[in-house]
Amino acid sequence: MTGLYFDCFSGISGDMILGSLLDLGLSLDALSAELSKLSVQNFKLSAKKVHKANIAATQFEVEAGHELVHRHYSVIEKIINESQISPNVRERATRIFYRLAEAEAKVHGTTLDRVHFHEVGAVDAIVDIVGACVGLEWLGVQEIYASALNVGRGSVESAHGVLPVPAPATAELLKGVPIYSNQVSGELVTPTGAAILTTVCQGYGELPLLKVQKVGYGSGTRDNAEVPNVLRVIQGEMSGRLQRGEGSEAETTVVVVEANIDDMNPQIYGHLQERLFALGVLDMFACPVQMKKNRPGILVTVVTPLALLEEVSEVFFRETTTIGIRYHEARRKVLERQAEVIESEFGKVNVKVSRLNGKIVNFSPEYEDCRRVANEQNVPYKWVQSRIIQEFMNRHAGDL
């Protein structure tokens, strides 16, 4: 399984993430081609080699016209979801912006629909967030981990005036994440960088056991005397007891959160599910139970990374009628997973593939891709799905 480790000894930002992914081998032409599918105009991408304290790194830049438009989350969501970028990229990028909008709303004491994105609503932030998701998919990354984050110290100027480091929205996004300061002055972790990392990352801490394949360095724009202003990213094959059990199952620690509810409007459960998945939880399901006083109720169970526990708790208390939740850590094993593109006479469809010891044990055509192709070709969904399954089995006759 391809894993990525973000070594954030000098913080993290959107341009540093993209610089590091380009340094790993992401094609700038491929990145530009994907980002051109967004209905955002007047920007140009560039990358160059720079040196920070004698470390060669890639510096990513977005050249864009000066924007005066302040975008709402709903506008940004529409830009992403109406593009022809892959479903996985659209879903992940939307989740990142949702987290960013929630953090801004909480900090400013307002609601999602009233949040104005200033810095993060500009073209370069849209490019950074969607581009990072494109890069992770392009590189075939399946597991992502990070070190503790060096956040810097002092203050930073923003559209809202001079703010302490980490900025309020950044601090909100970093709940549950290990952070520190080694006395480097200035903002080392930006809201965009925090939003990307905390959405895609499965865990934080020391470098996990992995077989190193590539190392990339993404440069920031500052020059720090105390530490090189670069983000180091290590790509490799995840293996060993820290990430795998027997065979090829990835093993991680998750938190299982539960609540028994017997007095809530059933319409709210759909909204609750949307909110939780937008946070980045791994799973959510509801089961009927018989509660005290012989009342029928619903047991809501959520499986989430530890870093999201506080946010999941807050969603439970704000969005449901429960007055208490319970939670415990659990070990989770999942099969090695990857995506594969299958082409048929109807069109291209992504297929999710799971392997055990190198052998395919499960595969499933991507629902959204099949639905899109069925609508474009005006054919039944079941025809597209059956055809893709047939093509996949023909291709992998010896692997099944």
Residues 152 and 35 in one domain: yes
3-state helix, strand, coil in the chain (%, to 5): 35, 35, 30
253 and 234 in a common domain: no
Domain boundary among 301, 333, 365: 333
Task: Quote the tokens at residue 224.
Answer: 């720090």
**pLDDT number for residue 204:** 85
Query: Are 183 and 302 found together in one domain?
Result: no
Identify whether residues 104 and 161 lie together within a single domain. yes
Q: Examine the fold and report which residue of 282, 304, 333 is the final residue of a domain before the chain moves on.
A: 333
Residues facing 244 on adjacent strands: 250
**Residue 400 domain-assigned (yes or no):** no
Question: How many structural domains does the chain have?
Answer: 3
The whole-angstrom separation of Cα 80 and Cα 92 is: 10
Question: DSSP letters along 139-157, please?
Answer: TT--EEEE--EE-EESEEE
Q: How far is 118 from 107, CA to CA, in rounded Å?
A: 14
Is residue 216 domain-shared with residue 256, that is, in the same domain?
no
Answer whether 368's CB lies under 8 Å from 329's CB: no
Q: Are 195 and 269 part of one and the same domain?
A: no
Residue at 43 is within a domain: yes
CB 56 within 8 A of CB 107: no
Q: Are residues 23 and 140 in the same domain?
A: yes
Residue 71 lies in a domain: yes
**Angle 17-62-102 (CA atoms, 0-180°, nearest 5)?**
60
CB atoms within 10 A of CB 26: 25
Helices (H) and strands (E) in the chain, counts: 11, 19
Per the CB < 8 A criterion, the answer to whether 208 and 143 are in contact is: no
Q: How many CB atoms lie within 10 A of CB 33?
A: 11
Domain presence at residue 365: yes
Same domain (yes/no): 57, 121: yes
Cα–Cα distance measured from residue 67 to residue 61, given in angstroms and rounded to the nearest whole number: 16
6 and 127, same structural domain?
yes
Helices (H), 163-233: 168-173, 191-200
> Residues 400, 380: contact at Cβ < 8 Å?
no
Within-domain flag for 367? yes
Is 13 in the same domain as 133? yes
Q: What pLDDT does 248 receive? A: 45
DSSP tag of 398? T
pLDDT at position 30, please?
Answer: 94
Give the number of other CB atoms < 10 A from CB of residue 98. Answer: 22
In sign, the C-alpha dihedral spanning 30, 71, 175, 277 is negative
Look at residue 242 in the predicted model and tell me its pLDDT: 36
Is 11 among the domain residues?
yes
Question: What is the phi-psi region of residue 358: left when phi exceeds 0, alpha when psi lies from -120 to 50, beta otherwise?
Answer: left
Where residue 316 sits, what CATH number does that domain have? 3.30.70.1380
Q: Mean pLDDT for each consecutive 10-residue tract of the chain (400 residues)?
A: 91 96 96 92 88 92 69 84 90 90 84 65 83 95 91 75 84 90 86 94 82 94 84 83 40 87 94 89 94 93 88 94 94 78 86 83 91 92 94 82
CA atoms within 13 A on the CB side of 347: 19
Give alpha helix (H) positions in the chain. 14-24, 28-35, 73-81, 87-108, 123-138, 168-173, 191-200, 267-279, 309-319, 367-377, 381-395
Query: Does 324 lie in the same domain as 276?
Result: yes
Q: Is the dihedral of CA 341, 342, 343, 347 positive or negative?
A: negative
Question: Is the entire prediction scored with pTM above 0.85?
Answer: no
Both 161 and 232 in a single domain? yes
User: How far is it, in rounded angstroms, from Cα 144 to Cα 15?
Assistant: 18
Per the structure, the complete domain to which residue 107 belongs is given by: 2-238
Preceding amide of 365 cis, omega within 30: no
CA atoms within 13 Å, Cβ hemisphere of 16: 29
Do the domain assignments include residue 338?
no
Question: Are 217 and 231 within 8 A, CB to CB?
Answer: yes
Show which of 296, 313, 333 is a domain's final residue: 333
- Tokens in use for 98? 């949702």
